[in-house]
Amino acid sequence: MTADDPTALRRRWQTLDTAAGGLALDLVLYAVSAVFAAITAVTSTLLPHRAWGAVAAVGYLVATLAVIVQLLLRRRIPASRLAGLPARWTVTGVTWASTTLLPLLWQSVERASGRTDRAQEEVLVVEQAGARLLEHGTPYLGPDAIAALPAGEQLLGYTPYQPGMALFGLPRALLDAWWTDARVWFAVGTALALALAVAALRAAPATARRARTATPAGPDHPRDAALLRGVQAATVLPICALTLATGGDDLPVLALCLLALAFAAADRPGRAGLAVGLAGALKLFAWPVALVLIVWGLTRRAGTRVAAGAIGLPVAALLPALLVDRDALIENVLRFPLGHGLVTSPAQSPFPGYLIANALPAGRLVAAALLVAAGLAIAVRLARRPPRTAVATALICGYGLLVAIALMPSTRFGYLLYPLALLTWAPALHRTVAPATVPAPGELSGRTTSV
């Protein structure tokens, strides 16, 4: 099976996904999530995580009971609307509100009232970056300024993100209130990007250049079920819900990447480039997705349009910080993530790259070599068989990031939200109508939209 021909994977996934009209997998998702949240509430060593688990466990349990009711209704009344796809969308929305937004807002309110254990360090870092951006024109502290901090505060002095991430910290720099918590704005950005992605995919058949008689996919369209599953993977999946409620900086990046892929499926290369460019202006994790999307654009003679946003926006975000303090930018964006800062990253989940780096002689070099080798293999794959569809693009990004996360010397389990969401998003990117048939040479030159 290849990324350009994911038929076997698609069939296996459809068999699992469509069991009992999709409700079987819904039941597994919510039930396992409820157990995970309950265990987190009892055993986590991180207080924001424990607080999340206490609230989210109830939300997931309610969702589990709702799906059980839907399954009973479906068995007795097969055509019941309460067990159909629109009802599943409703349960997903309510579950996201109860397992992500509610604990997020609760922790934000408690933090504003004086609790110091209601946010992960990422929230503080982003808000401090916003304050520095407002005051000094750059979100970064220079190496001398970081060295002057007390030893226990040097880690928080680093901002290992792209400059655009500091924008989420600006509200807190202007006013100290619960609604200026960076997580609130992470949630707003995430919800907006996902809503635009859903709208783009539902309208894709009507806007595709080569669709002759297509109409937009309605709420009962088969692809809408795949779209629901993709949205669940980016919202109610515990790894995403927990991350957004307690830290949050990865979710708007992920949502913008999903939006870029949705625009690619809708045959909007320029918009795809802008979306992934916005993600790249926030965090480096979006840059591999941007690279693959540019290659996809080249197969459609739209590489320049994709690259204009995918490269232009991150460069535009970096330029002011580069001009204000180049050393600070390099220290935060390059040296610290590569393990050469004044302090080391606390990201130490036991993936193969971390284990190799810490268990073998010259382990970091070995892990780095494996990571480079994997990157070269993906580059060769892109050169020899470039992705010609949004589906193939999503699969290459998902599997590529999965390999990269596994091999990075410093990594976290939370980063798995990227490949999990990208791979689950892929089935929703299939076009519902066949493009006009053209000769094979035209396809090779990128003139068609291959399904």
pLDDT tens digits for range 361-419:
877 788 888 888 999 999 999 999 999 999 999 999 999 999 999 988 877 888 999 99
**Residue 436 predicted with pLDDT over 60:** no
Report the distance separating Cα 26 and Cα 290, nearest Å.
Answer: 31
Question: Each residue of 353-368: pLDDT tens digit?
Answer: 878 877 888 777 888 8
Stretch 184-197: mean pLDDT = 98
pLDDT for the residue numbered 17: 82
Model confidence at 9, in pLDDT bands (50, 70, 90)?
low
Q: Has residue 285 been placed in a domain?
A: yes
Q: In sequence order, what DSSP letters do the residues of 169-212 get, joined into one string?
A: GHHHHH--SGGGSHHHHHHHHHHHHHHHHHHHHHHHHHH-TT-S
Q: 354 is in which domain, residue-wise?
A: 7-444
Question: Which amino acid does the sequence have at 247?
Answer: G
Check residue 267 and give left, alpha or beta (phi > 0: left; psi -120 to 50: alpha).
left
Query: Tokens for 406?
Result: 């596994």
pLDDT for the residue numbered 321: 95
Give the 3-state secondary structure percentages of the chain, helix then strand then coil, rounded to 5. 75, 0, 25
Query: Tokens for 436?
Result: 């006009």
State CA 348 to chain mean position distance.
20
- The answer to whether 123 and 308 have CB atoms below 8 angstroms apart is no
Q: Has residue 451 been placed in a domain?
A: no
Q: Report the range of poorest mean pLDDT among 75-84, 120-129, 135-144, 265-274.
A: 75-84
pLDDT for the residue numbered 201: 94
Q: Has residue 449 been placed in a domain?
A: no
223 closest CA partner among 209, 203, 242, 241: 203
Query: Tokens for 78?
Result: 């097969």
Model confidence at 347, in pLDDT bands (50, 70, 90)?
low
146 closest CA partner among 320, 409, 336: 336
Q: Which residue has the higher pLDDT, 255 or 438?
A: 255
Question: Which amino acid does the sequence have at 428?
Answer: A
Q: Has residue 450 been placed in a domain?
A: no
Model confidence at 4, in pLDDT bands (50, 70, 90)?
very low
**Residue 439 predicted with pLDDT over 80:** no
**Residue 307 predicted with pLDDT over 90:** yes
- pLDDT, mean over the chain: 88
**Residue 329 predicted with pLDDT over 90:** yes
Q: Which residue reads 């949630």 in tokens? A: 187
Report the distance separating Cα 184 and Cα 362, nearest Å.
Answer: 43
State CA 373 to chain mean position distance.
24
Strand, coil or helix: what is 2?
A: strand
**CA dihedral of 346, 233, 61, 22, whole degrees rounded to 10:** -160
Report the distance separating Cα 292 and Cα 379, nearest Å.
Answer: 9
Angle between helices 222-234 and 417-425 (to 10 degrees): 170
95 closest CA partner among 214, 240, 296, 291: 240
Stretch 73-96: mean pLDDT = 90
Query: Any alpha helices (H) in 385-451, and if so which ranges?
Result: 390-407, 417-425, 440-444
Report the distance separating Cα 327 and Cα 140, nearest Å.
Answer: 9
- The answer to whether 399 and 407 have CB atoms below 8 angstroms apart is no
What Cα–Cα distance (Å) separates residue 11 from each residue in 8, 18, 81, 333, 420?
Answer: 5, 10, 26, 41, 18
**CA dihedral of 249, 252, 258, 261, whole degrees rounded to 10:** -110
Residue 172: Cβ-neighbour burial (10 angstroms; 0-12, 13-18, 19+): buried
Q: Has residue 2 been placed in a domain?
A: no
Number of domains in the chain: 1
Q: Which residue has the higher pLDDT, 61 or 21?
A: 61
- The answer to whether 59 and 106 have CB atoms below 8 angstroms apart is no
